[in-house]
Amino acid sequence: MSDLFSPRIPDDVASRRPLADRLRPANLGEVSGQEHLTGPDGVLTRMIESGTLGSMIFWGPPGTGKTTVARLLSGEAGLAFEQISAIFSGVADLKKVFEAARARRMNGRQTLLFVDEIHRFNRAQQDSFLPVMEDGTVILVGATTENPSFELNAALLSRARVLTFRAHDEASLEHLLSRAETVEERPLPLDADARAALIRMADGDGRAALTLAEEVWRAARQGEVFDTEGLSRVVQRRAPVYDKGQDGHYNLISALHKSVRGSDPDAALYYLCRMFDAGEDPLFIGRRLVRMAVEDIGLADPQALVVCNAAKDAYDFLGSPEGELALAEACVYLATAPKSNGVYTAYKAAMRAAKENGSLLPPKHILNAPTKLMKGEGYGDGYRYDHDEPDAFSGQDYFPEKMGRRQFYDPPERGFEREIRKRLDWWSKLRRERNAK
């Protein structure tokens, strides 16, 4: 397995290696974009200085240097480096790695085991790391693009420190491009706008930025400089960094939901279109719009739920691409509707009360009495039929006697709930008057 100490690759072969590989940093200080980890006061720098490394989970988007940093750590700490991928490895592969690490340990050398895509291992496979982490056979460094809180089991997380790798910002990507120009000994044939566009295309991924730069160099003829249109033509269009089953999916739907809740139709439309552009299932978005209607608009505008269900049906009827417009219409409707979480809050409070108070019997006056025995027990005694009462309101108490009356729903003075509050206030007044008699 190759590492920092492998035999030197001949220059003619090295020159054919991808640019991103040729620009790998030689030490932690050269790592770009992760100064909070690898800078002079970074977490990993301090670990190296202290001479003690613990197991870690590197969490961050693609192309941020997780693999590179793991290799550099092993070199600077004098550890043997082993690398496996959870995509291609199974239990048998893990056993071989653990056995080799034990043998090294017997000879006085510790092993840093780098596991790429560690979240791909199932729970049982993740558990297999625990004994070798605890007895010091390996220092585990797992890399994942997914939120460890959701993808890794608690036992593994309790034994490893999670370090977050950040997506490259524009300055960091510009630094990488400048380094690439130094290595290539020629400027990138792009005008200022095209260079900025390439950085945006990279979407925070350093490896992607260098790959795009390499494509530009390959395509450029002598003396040719590309503008933004020429860049798009040469590299085509890089697909958005978005996995419909993973973090990108949840990040964008969260952004859409919060934009709707924040009554910003423009931001909501932007995130909606980001998801459409990335290939998200429109019916998934339709379901989430329905959820927003009941959670964030509620009875402030009862039509919101109707509009969202109609948009979902319209998409089913029209299909793509026409059906997406119906979902966009629902999205704008929600963002511009009056907001209320009154029913949502009431529901959660009522659910807590239901769980806390157990199986309390409703008051007997509202229980049916289909048998003589139940009538003898007082079921139904004293019930007043509301339609026969003045104003069609009896004011009786319907909560269990041991629980007492509670208020869960407190509608705000917004939208249609203004009218609901007027009714509730009126009924509350009648209840006090009739129960005082």
**Crossing angle between the packed helical segments 323-336 and 303-318, to the nearest 10 degrees:** 170
Bridge partners, 85 (sequence order): 116
Q: How far apart are the first and last CA of the chain?
A: 89
Q: What is the DSSP letter of 246?
A: S
Q: How far is CA 268 from CA 15, 125, 335, in A?
A: 47, 40, 7
Mind listing the domains of the chain with CATH numbers?
11-164 (3.40.50.300), 170-235 (1.10.8), 247-336 (1.20.272.10), 362-435 (no CATH)
pLDDT in tens for each of the 437 residues of the chain? Answer: 444 444 555 555 555 688 888 888 888 988 999 999 999 999 999 999 998 889 999 999 889 999 999 999 999 999 999 999 998 888 888 999 999 999 999 998 999 999 999 999 988 899 999 999 998 899 999 999 888 988 899 999 999 999 999 989 899 999 999 999 999 999 999 999 999 989 988 888 999 999 999 999 999 999 999 998 899 888 876 545 555 555 667 788 999 999 999 999 999 999 999 888 877 889 889 999 999 999 999 999 999 999 999 999 999 889 888 899 999 999 999 999 999 999 999 999 999 998 888 788 888 888 888 888 888 888 888 899 999 989 999 988 889 988 888 999 999 999 999 999 999 999 999 988 887 76
- CA dist., res. 85 & res. 150, Å (int): 19
- CA dist., res. 353 & res. 356, Å (int): 5
| CA nearest neighbour of 291 among 351, 251, 343 | 343
For residue 142, the SS3 value is strand
